Amino acid sequence: MISARVDRLRDTVPLVQCLTNTVVTQFTANVLLSAGASPAMVDTPEEAADFARVASGVLVNLGTPTAAGYTAMREAVRGAGEAGTPWVLDPVACGGAAARTSFAGDIVRHRPAAVRGNPSEIRALAGLVTRETGPSAGGRGVDSTDEVESASVAAAAVSAATGAVVAVSGPRDLIVNTRPDGTTRTTRLTSGDPLMQRVVGTGCSLGALTAAYLGAELSGATGSTGFTGSAGPDLHAAVVAAHAHAGAAGTAAAREASAPGSFAVAWIDRLYSLSAADIAGSVSLDE
């Protein structure tokens, strides 16, 4: 499942439009290039919709929002929806600030292909889409204060409400997709290294990498629901593959780097150099 999707990503070189935060723009572009995708940091309101229509995938990251940025994100999501381009929502600090929390609750209703966040962000988003209130619906935002497993119900709720594959990041990633019949497909993936938490941009760039894998998965396909069988596209498996690629590179980078600066360089190098078989073989999956 994983190795074939790594090969597909590198063969198709998906074009990923990134509307992301200013702190990680260059880092994210380098991650996409190293992994085998093509980045396009097109985030102006005047161009966002047009570019989303021709991109393979789109990332919407709420890390450093501005008024113009919000407009561009809405335009990109509109263009993606019109063209059937898969888009990924990374609701950075959702639950931690009123304006971005409100925006996240609005834009997630426009059917992202995937949502990626930490436990607090996913719990906050679940509160918005299910109209819950109170402590269980909130979160600190960037700092993950909840264990990944505690967000499993919230992840399933977000998936059921939006149709998205929902990835909760942590020491053991949780990837959830609630099927139309109400059953839930869940994958737990163990990989990576704690040093990834010491490098700004590893999580945000994972959102971009997820958009790349979704774009590769849907390359030449139509009408995917993520559950079309082995012969058709599988969005859940694509999200798993993105997390496996990032995690395997983190595990490999930690063997040669013991501090954040050198680790960041090594991680990008390993995103580029690890074979599909190496990536598939270095992660532990529980499905």
Instruction: Establish whether 1 is an annotated binding residue.
Output: no
**Inter-residue contact 3 to 276 (CB < 8 Å):** yes
Q: Dihedrals φ, ψ of 264, to 5°?
A: -60, -45
Alpha carbon of 240 to those of 76, 234, 244: distances in Å? 24, 10, 6
Q: Among 140, 94, 100, 143, which Cα is nearest to 115's?
A: 94
Query: Residue 50: exposed, middle, or buried by beta-carbon count in 10 A (0-12, 13-18, 19+)?
Result: middle
Q: Dihedrals φ, ψ of 190, to 5°?
A: -110, 120
DSSP label at 137? G
Instruction: Establish whether 201 is an annotated binding residue.
Output: yes
Instruction: Establish whether 116 is an annotated binding residue.
Output: yes
Instruction: Establish whether 232 is an annotated binding residue.
Output: no
| Residue set of the binding site | 41, 116, 169, 201
Q: Detail the residues annotated as belonging to a binding site for substrate.
A: 41, 201
Binding site for ATP: which residues? 116, 169
